[in-house]
Structure 1
Amino acid sequence: MFRFPRPTAIGQLRFGGRLGWARGAIGALIGVALAAVFGLTVPDAYHWPWIVAPVGASAVLVFAVPASPLAQPWPVFGGNMLAALTGLVVGHVIGLPVLAAGISVGLAIAAMTYARCLHPPGGACAILGALAASSPGGGWMSLLLPLGLNLAALIGAGWLYNNLTGHAWPHIPVQAPPMPKGTWAGSYDRADLDAVLDEWDEVLDVNRQDLDSLFRAVERRVLRRWEDDLK
C-alpha cells in the first residue's frame, strides 16, 4: 500500500512542527477572506474583480513561510503592484497578449529584483496586467485598485495573525549567541559563509542572518553533546 512520506526535519522546521500547516492554513483563510471583504468595497458599476487570484499565492507565503525574504510586507505589496503595473504597460505598448504576457513576466522579474521586492506571485500579476491591457474596458485601475485593496487587507491580517501566533512579521532574524572560546564550534567567519554563497551562485529562499544563526545553533548543540559525552 502506498504511503505518503513523513515530513523531513527540514520541512518540520520550516513549517513550525507537525501542526505548523494548521497555523498557516487558518491564517490564509482569515487573510484571503479579509482581502475579499476589502475587494467588495469596489462599486459594482465598474465591473472590477473583488479579489485578484495571485493574492491566494501571496497568502501561502505570508502565513505558511512568514520568515521567507519573499514573504515580507514590501515584496508582497511592492512586488505584486510593480509586476501588475509592468504588465499593464507592456500590454498597452505591444498589444499582442501572447507576446506581452511573456515579456511582462521577464521585465517584472527584473523590476522586482532591482526594487528589492521579488515575489513569486508577481509573475501572475504581470500576466494579468498584460491581459487586462488588451481587454475591453481594461483600464489601469481595473486591476490596480482591487489588487491594492486585497494586498492591504492581506498585509494587515498577516501582521496581526503572525505576531499573535508567535511569528514576528516582518521577520526579525534570530541573533546567534557568541560561541565559547577555545572550541572548534563557531570557528568559521561570516566571510566564509558569504564566500560559499558566492561560489554556489544560487538564490536561496532564506535570510543570510537566519542561515548563519542556524549553523551556529547546530554547532552549539553538537558542542553540548560532546561535553555530555565527556562527563
Structure 2
Amino acid sequence: MAKFSFKYLAKHSAFYFGGDQPAVSWVERLRCVGGAFLGLMLVLTIAKSLGELSGIGEWLMASLGASALLVFALPGSPMAQPWAVIAGNTLSAVIGISCFHVIDEPLLALPMAGALSILGMFILRCLHPPAAAVALIVVLGHIGHYRYALFPVLVDSVLLVLAGAVYSNLTGKLYPNRPPK
C-alpha cells in the first residue's frame, strides 16, 4: 500500500490549484499588467469619447478585459492575434444579436448564441474565447441593433489590438505573431 503523506498529496494535486501554470517573473507580470492598464485606459477613453460624439450610449464591450488579458499577457497565443480578436468579437456580436431576434426564449437563445459563435469562429479561423462571452452578453443585455457589432465591439477590438501592438513592441514582445511553420 502506498504511503500518502501531505507532501505526496500536495505534489499530485498541485495541478488542480494552478500547478500547471508556467512560472512568470515579476518583471513580466508588471509588463503585462501595465500594458493591460494603459491599453484599456486608452481604448475606454477613445470609445467613450466616440460614444459621446455620436450620441451612442453603448461604448464599452464588457468582455474587453478578457481580450486584454490575451493581448497583453499572452501576445504569442493564436487566440490573441488581431484576426482572432477583431473577427471573433465582431462575429460573435452579430450572432448574439441574431439569436436575440430569432429566439424568444432566453434559455435557448443564450446557449445557441454561445455555440453558434464558437462554430462561426471555427469556420472563420478566429477562435477568441472572450468572443463567446460577447454573444452571451448581447442576449443578456437585450441588445437588438446590429450597430452594436460595429460600435463598440469592432471599434473596441481594433483599438485594443493597436494598443497591444504598440505596447508589446515597445516593451520587447513581438505582436502580432505568425505561427511557427
Please indicate, yes or no, whether the TM-score normalized by the shorter chain is above 0.5: yes
Q: Partner letter of residue 166 of structure 2?
A: L
Aligned to 2:163: 157
Distance 1:47 1:89 in 2: 20
Distance 1:156 1:106 in 2: 28
Q: Pick closer, same or farther for the CA change 1:128–1:10 going to 2, 3 Å.
A: closer
Distance 1:105 1:90 in 2: 10
Q: In the TM superposition, what whole-angstrom CA distance separates every residue of 1:157-194 from its partner, at most 9, and x where no partner exists?
A: 01101111111111145xxxxxxxxxxxxxxxxxxxxx
Distance 1:59 1:30 in 2: 10
Q: Does residue 101 of structure 2 align to residue 92 of structure 1? A: yes
Q: Does residue 45 of structure 2 align to residue 37 of structure 1? A: yes
Aligned residues: 164
Pairwise CA distance, 1:42:
1.3
Distance 1:30 1:80 in 2: 21
Aligned to 1:219: none
Q: Pick closer, same or farther for the CA change 1:144–1:129 going to 2, 3 Å.
A: farther
Which 5+ residue runs of structure 2 have no aligned equivalent?
1-13
Q: Does residue 54 of structure 2 align to residue 51 of structure 1? A: no
Which 5+ residue runs of structure 1 have no aligned equivalent?
174-208, 211-231
Pairwise CA distance, 1:149:
1.9
Distance 1:9 1:21 in 2: 17
Pairwise CA distance, 1:81:
0.5
Q: Pick closer, same or farther for the CA change 1:49–1:167 going to 2, 3 Å.
A: same
Distance 1:38 1:61 in 2: 21
Mapping for residues 166-177 of structure 1, pairs under 5 Å: 166-173=172-179
Pairwise CA distance, 1:38:
2.0
Q: Pick closer, same or farther for the CA change 1:103–1:18 going to 2, 3 Å.
A: same
Q: Partner letter of residue 47 of structure 2?
A: G
Relative contact order, higher structure (CA 8 A, sep 6+): 2
Aligned to 1:11: 22
C-alpha RMSD of matched pairs (Å): 2.3
Mapping for residues 66-215 of structure 1, pairs under 5 Å: 66-132=75-141, 134=142, 138-173=144-179, 209=180
Aligned to 1:24: 32
